[in-house]
Amino acid sequence: MDEKILEHIKRDKYAEWLGINIEKVDNGYAEVTMKVTGNMTNFHGSANGGAIFSLADVAFACASNSYGTTAVGITVTIHYLKAGAVGDRLKAIATEDNRSNKLGLYRMEVRNETDDLVALAEGMVYRTKHEF
């Protein structure tokens, strides 16, 4: 992975604000982690779906932009399969399923520390010709 691309990706202020760590990025692939904190819970006391979505979305963004050209999300579908709890360290892994000159399709799995599948998402990006 080109260090300039990785430096650019790691400037994600939203990910930083949520405490998301970008662990690994390679062409079409990313791993990111986040610890669920008390301010990320919903009224049931479990991890808010928006926090889980954000973790998957950061992995999606990292994987789809890993080639050094701007890719912008055009759709994401997510399925929540298990509740997250305060203290859980969640990991999202994004893998590229298909890539063309204009579109890219990615699968994101969010798992907890015991490797339970918490959420499963699929996203599509539009690939621009803008290099960063």
Write the CATH number for 32.
Answer: 3.10.129.10
Summarize pLDDT for 8-35 with one digit per residue, the tens: 999 999 999 999 999 999 999 999 999 9
Summarize pLDDT for 50-80 with one digit per residue, the tens: 999 999 999 999 999 999 999 999 999 999 9
Q: Which domain, by its residues, includes 58?
A: 3-131
Residue 31 pLDDT: 98
Distance of alpha carbon 10 from alpha carbon 118, whole angstroms: 24
Buried b (16+ CB within 10 A) or exposed e, 43-58: eeebbbeebbbbbbbb
The total number of structural domains in the chain stands at 1
